[in-house]
Amino acid sequence: MKFKEVYFATTNLHKFKEAEKIFSKYGLNLKHLNFKTAEIQSENLEKIAKNSLNQVLSQHKIPVFVEDAGLFIKVLNGFPGPYSSYVFKTIGLKGILNLLGKTRNREAFFLSVIAFGSPSGEQKIFTGKVLGKITFKIRGLGGFGFDPIFQPKNHKKTFGQMDVEEKNRFSHRAKAVKKLVKWLLFKEKL
């Protein structure tokens, strides 16, 4: 690998476990940095991720990445998108289901943006996206956040009904993490 050790700065252990599983599949050991960043308000996930990364790097001189994700719902013109965290805390899953009501068009996607940086100043962005739909009901107890109401395209289960391995086969985060791992291992041009 390009670096001896790589850290994932997050307070979300679900996110860490998802990423750790992918790293270990490629024979890499991922370290956890429990670091809470002050998330800036922006309509752009990449800007949020880069800002968070720089907060971490200002205190830790290590190869590290942060990840920021959002749920974008088509009939709501992309809402909650970058405001997903606030919306989850305030109206939650039921609030989203109420907003959609009986609407038939329930298309949505998750977007994940990883910002990686090293003490040498090198910075890279990796993204992953998964298309799917918002279910009519909360289904499943697994995962976190909006997992129990998000069903990836061409699959019957919600992310909330999948274990980490299965979610990793489709998820936005898994796609972004795989790109990062390949770059770390092979310095692939992406």
Contacts to ligand IMP by CB under 6 A: 12, 68-71, 84-85, 88, 110, 143-147, 159, 171, 173
Beta carbon of residue 39, minimum distance to ligand IMP (angstroms, whole number): 6
Residue placing its CB nearer to ligand IMP in the complex, 1 or 157: 157
Beta carbon of residue 102, minimum distance to ligand IMP (angstroms, whole number): 23
Catalytic residues: 68
Q: Please identify the residue of the shown chain whose CB is closest to the bound ligand IMP.
A: 145
Residue placing its CB nearer to ligand IMP in the complex, 51 or 85: 85
Which of these, 138, 134, 146, lies nearest to 102 by C-alpha position?
134
- Which sign does the torsion angle of CA 70, 32, 7, 39 carry? positive
Beta carbon of residue 26, minimum distance to ligand IMP (angstroms, whole number): 20
Query: Cα–Cα distance between 122 and 184 in angstroms, integer?
Result: 12
Residue placing its CB nearer to ligand IMP in the complex, 1 or 138: 138
Residues with Cβ < 8 Å from 73, sequence gap 6 or more? 79, 80, 96, 100, 106, 107, 108, 134
Cβ atoms < 10 Å from Cβ of 7? 18
